[in-house]
Structure 1
Amino acid sequence: KSNKSDLTEAQLVSESFTLARRPSDGSTDDILVIGVCGGSGSGKTTLSKAIIDDIGDNAVSYLSHDFYYKDLSHLSMEQRAEHNFDHPDALDTALLVSHLAKLKHGIACDIPMYDFSTHSRLATTQHMTPKSVILIEGILLFTDPELVKLMDIKVFVETPSDVRFIRRLKRDIRERGRTAESVIEQYMTTVRPMHLLFVEPSKRVADILVPVGVNAVALELILSRLRSFMNKSA
């Protein structure tokens, strides 16, 4: 019998979907959960968007682990800036597990919203109804065993560290109002150490390893199986 590491990429995808059709937690087999994990700036969001664009947002519910960062409004801005956002404890993963379990059972949820410029949770929420596919994305998705159990397909995006850093630098300056100096300091003090400690080792639970963000071959394999699942569920 072959080990998972000996399987081809196509076999890994096929195996994932075979398992996805056998729910063991009482959830409906009409809803499939796909987790997309990888380091900061690896291309997770780009891959997720490519999947949603093909399948259609009418069929995909999108969840980001980033939505579940803990509220730091009780801290000073200086303390918030020094917070380690790359450690699993920075996230309210228990709430995410609760929401994902409900969505997988066909129950709508009110999803939290997070403001990265102030490092605080917004008062408003996003009402989410479950669709045929629930796509969840984040750097620390695979570090929590209870969260992993809810995923039918686990994808890890592998991208060289220098490429990831440059992408993160540009994103945080453009989208999160950060300075280059603060991004570099955070990368050296928390992002890189936490990636080596938590993110990189977590890829061992992945069903599929995707090289350098959106790999056309891997993407098509994922999409073909998603289409097959949705056709069977229709």
Structure 2
Amino acid sequence: MGIAGSSGSGKTFFLKSFLDHFDQEQVTLISQDDYYYPANTKTQEENRLYNFDVPSSINREDFFNDIKSLFEGKTIYKKEYTFNNPNLTPKILEIKPAPILIVEGLFIFHYEEVNQLLNYRIFLDADEDIALKRRLKRDLIERGYDHDDVMYKWVNHVVPSYNTYLLPYKDTCDRVIVNNTDDPKLINGATDLISRELKEKLQFD
């Protein structure tokens, strides 16, 4: 299952709600965010200008190979990406194979070799002004970014990348969820339905 969406569309909450419907051994998640090329050697100004929202910022080969390894029943180990926040110590992620594999990230439909592995595609969407408010709240508080830096990246990187590498695939997805409210009932209702369908298909208890 592939899950992608605009920044601020509610992917994190969607994933948490979805995973809560399953036992740990039934589902696993691999995130494109953990495959960014390291940028911690850059100065603050270089980091501000660096575009993380392009396909070349991701180690595409490792991302694809690890997805294939999970398909083959292998456990993978990956250092967590901390978005260059010096206050966070990255953990070593142990990602085990499971009957349901969730692949999450901005470029998962753009990367043809990844897209071809997906059986089901979910697109999370939100109006731009709502998405920006959520992005500001997250980046200023959780990631410690400067307001001007967040706005620079939003205008010059985030929105152009979304329009180029994700939006064209919206109509090819199996389910599109428009999340313009902060009412958890919308997301919880969608994950209830999708998880119920999967459990029936895979004959989970």
Match of 1:9 in 2: none
Please give the TM-score of this superposition, normalised by the length of structure 2.
Answer: 0.87
* Cα deviation code 1:170-199 (max 9, x no counterpart): 001111111222111211111111111222
Match of 1:40 in 2: 7
Match of 1:96 in 2: 63
1:72 and 2:44 matched: no
8 Å Cα contact 1:107/1:130 also seen in 2: yes
Instruction: Give me the whole-angstrom Cα distance separating, in 2, the residues matched to 1:73 and 1:96.
Output: 20
- Of the three residues 165, 169, 173, the one matched with 1:198 is 165
Identity %: 26
Q: Partner of 1:115: helix, strand, or coil? A: coil
Q: Partner of 2:102: helix, strand, or coil? A: strand
Aligned-pair distance for 1:215? 4.0
- Of the three residues 5, 17, 30, the one matched with 1:63 is 30
8 Å Cα contact 2:53/2:158 also seen in 1: yes
Letter in 1 for 2:60: T
- Of the three residues 97, 107, 112, the one matched with 1:145 is 112
**Structure 2 unaligned blocks of 5 or more:** 181-185
**Structure 1 unaligned blocks of 5 or more:** 1-33
Instruction: Give me the whole-angstrom Cα distance separating, in 2, the residues matched to 1:164 and 1:205.
Output: 22
* Cα deviation code 1:29-81 (max 9, x no counterpart): xxxxx111011111111111111011233322122111111112343332122
Instruction: Give me the whole-angstrom Cα distance separating, in 2, the residues matched to 1:127 and 1:49.
Output: 18
Aligned-pair distance for 1:109? 1.0
* Cα deviation code 1:99-130 (max 9, x no counterpart): 001101111111232121359xx886322211
Instruction: Give me the whole-angstrom Cα distance separating, in 1, the residues matched to 2:79 and 2:120.
Output: 24
Letter in 2 for 1:221: L
8 Å Cα contact 1:117/1:177 also seen in 2: no
Cα RMSD of the aligned pairs, angstroms, is 2.1
Length, aligned pairs only: 198
Q: Partner of 2:203: helix, strand, or coil? A: helix
Match of 1:112 in 2: 79
- Of the three residues 1, 5, 18, the one matched with 1:51 is 18
Structure number with greater Rg is 1
